Amino acid sequence: MTSTIAAGTAPACPGFDPHPRTPKLRLPPLSCDAHHHIFGPYADYPMQAERSYTPPEATLADYRRMCQALGIERSVLVHPSIYGTDLASLLGTLAQCSDWMRGVAVVDQSVDDSTLALLDRAGVRGVRFNVLFKGGTPLAQARAIGARVARLGWHVQLLIDLAAHPSFHEDWKDFPAPLVIDHMGHMATANGVDAPGFQGMLRLLAEGRCWVKLSGAYRTSSLPHPYPDALAFVEALVKTNPERLVWGTDWPHPAVQLMPNDGDLADLVPVWLPGEDLRQQVLVRNPARLYGFD
């Protein structure tokens, strides 16, 4: 059972902007936000004690309001580290949104097959390994769990810093399940696109062994919006394999001190993905295939 902890034990986060601005360019119909979280209500879903940050509540009602402003019609709920492997929040949210939302869960090696089957029926399509924040499953369990979830047609999602993984291609090229890489590899832009870890991810992407989320530029950039130093990374990914890219808001932007307005983030879409067909590919067709939207 999860529990809350005393204020101040884990750093508090500022709140998301509750007034998302309508983007200048409307997203295509059936656009998918492939990466977001829900926090709370904490009376129903309390945070676990072992966590790296303390976010304010960001409820499903808040998220729906943001989606309406941006024109998002499909989404992927990523189970956040503040809940560890307690999936009550994930399952509760998916039960209310089964027609337009899929999920990515956090499990460990103790999960049984009946639980995996239940998660699959609920709309879960992958499992996440988060090594950057407390509450994640150890990366050492990824291969064994990946082999099990691959039988369900799921993927394994990684939140790692590619700067710390220079042999990324060699380490993951024979992984038993499809890989999805969070936030373009979560590597500081100062490392440059020639960094070995990023190049290793590009190799896996070119080989069709992984997918990459175009998201979280504010986590890696050293510059304010529109994060111009992240553009070279996006362009390298698009050039390598646009059929294996998805886009996400990372709403409500947890553990970020300067919260962006989601309208500003959506305005990056035509910059990162110039051309209507490319936007259809990344925002609609790719996530429909990866997450099994009908």
Query: What pLDDT is recorded for position 241?
Result: 98
Among 32-46, 56-70, 250-264, 271-285, which stretch is predicted with the lowest mean pLDDT?
Answer: 250-264
* Residue 250 annotated in active site: yes
Query: What pLDDT is recorded for position 105?
Result: 97
Dist CA 49 CA 6 (whole Å): 9
Structure confidence by residue, pLDDT tens digits, 131-147: 777 667 888 999 999 99
Q: Which of 250, 267, 277, 294 is catalytic?
A: 250
Structure confidence by residue, pLDDT tens digits, 183-207: 999 999 999 999 999 999 999 999 9
Structure confidence by residue, pLDDT tens digits, 119-134: 999 999 999 998 777 6
Query: What pLDDT is recorded for position 134?
Result: 65
Query: What pLDDT is recorded for position 5?
Result: 36
Mean pLDDT of 283-293: 98
Model confidence at 4: pLDDT above 70: no
Structure confidence by residue, pLDDT tens digits, 70-99: 999 999 999 998 999 999 999 999 999 999
Query: What pLDDT is recorded for position 282?
Result: 98
Q: What is the 3-state secondary structure (H, E, C) of the chain?
A: CCCCCCCCCCCECCCCCCCCCCCCCCCCCCCEEEEECCECCCCCCCCCCCCCCECCCECHHHHHHHHHHHCCCEEEEECCHHHCCCCHHHHHHHHHCCCCEEEEECCCCCCCHHHHHHHHHHCEEEEEEECCCCCCCCHHHHHHHHHHHHCCCCEEEEECCHHHCCCHHHHHCCCCCCEEEHHHHCCCHHHCCCCHHHHHHHHHHHCCCEEEEECCHHHHCCCCCCCHHHHHHHHHHHHHCHHHEEECCCECCCCCCCCCCHHHHHCCHHHHCCCHHHHHHHHHHHHHHHHCCC
Query: What pLDDT is recorded for position 3?
Result: 33
Task: Kindly report the average pLDDT of the chain as a whole number.
Answer: 93
Mean pLDDT of 235-259: 93
Query: What pLDDT is recorded for position 9?
Result: 57
Domains present along the chain, CATH in parentheses: 32-291 (3.20.20.140)
pTM: 0.94
Dist CA 31 CA 293 (whole Å): 11
Confidence of residue 249 (pLDDT cuts 50, 70, 90): very high
Model confidence at 2: pLDDT above 70: no
- φ, ψ for residue 50 (rounded to 5)? -85, 95
Structure tokens at 163: 């700067």
Dist CA 86 CA 75 (whole Å): 21
Query: What pLDDT is recorded for position 135?
Result: 64
Model confidence at 39: pLDDT above 70: yes
Confidence of residue 1 (pLDDT cuts 50, 70, 90): very low
